[in-house]
Amino acid sequence: MRKLKIAQIGIGHDHALAILESIRKQTDIFDFVGLAVPESEKTDFPTRYAKTEQYNTLTVEQALDYEGLDCIAIETEELNLTQYTQMAADRGLHIHMDKPGGIELADFERMIYTVKKNGCVLSIGYMYRYNSEVMELHRKIEAGELGEVYSIEAHMDCFHKPEKREWLARFPGGMLFFLGCHLIDLVYRMQGEPEEIIPLSMPTGIDGVTGQDYGMAVFKYKNGISFVKTSAIECGGFMRRQLVVSGSKGTVELHPLERYLPGTQNLVADVYECFETAPFTVGPKHRISNPQDRYDDMMKAFASMARGEKSNPYTPDYELALYRVILRACGA
Looking at 3.30.360.10, 1.10.260.40, 3.40.930.10, 1.10.1060.10, the CATH number of the domain 132-291 comes to: 3.30.360.10
CB 18 within 8 A of CB 127: no
Distance between CA 320 and CA 318 in Å, rounded?
Answer: 5
Residue 20 has pLDDT above 80, yes or no: yes
Amino acid in position 162? P
The per-residue pLDDT of the chain, averaged, comes to: 96
Three-state secondary-structure class, residue 252? strand
Find the mean pLDDT for residues 14-21: 97
Sign of CA dihedral 167, 180, 115, 36: positive
Residue 166 has pLDDT above 80, yes or no: yes
Amino acid in position 42? K
Backbone phi and psi for residue 172, each to the nearest 5 degrees, phi listed first: -65, 130
Residue of 179, 190, 10 lying closest to 99 (CA atoms): 179
CB 223 within 8 A of CB 151: no
* Interstrand relation of 267-268 and 259-260 (parallel, antiparallel or unpaired): antiparallel
For the chain, the structural domain boundaries read 4-127+296-314, 132-291
264 vs 215, more confident: 215
DSSP letter assigned to residue 139: H
Distance between CA 110 and CA 284 in Å, rounded?
Answer: 46
Residue 140 has pLDDT above 90, yes or no: yes
Cα dist from 10 to 57, 143, 197, 303, whole Å: 11, 40, 33, 19
Residue of 32, 229, 227, 7 lying closest to 96 (CA atoms): 7
Checking phi first, is residue 234 left (phi over 0); if not, alpha (psi -120 to 50) or beta? beta
- Kindly report the length of the chain: 332
* pLDDT tens profile 77-102: 999 999 999 999 999 999 999 999 99
Quote the pLDDT of residue 249: 95
* Interstrand relation of 270-274 and 259-260 (parallel, antiparallel or unpaired): unpaired
Residue 276 has pLDDT above 80, yes or no: no
Lowest mean per-residue pLDDT among 197-211, 245-259, 276-290: 276-290
72 exposed, middle or buried (CB, 10 Å; 0-12, 13-18, 19+)?
buried
CATH number for the region 4-127+296-314 comes to 3.40.50.720
Cα dist from 11 to 8, 29, 284, 325, whole Å: 9, 22, 42, 27
CB 240 within 8 A of CB 254: no
In the chain, the percentage of residues whose pLDDT exceeds 90 is: 95
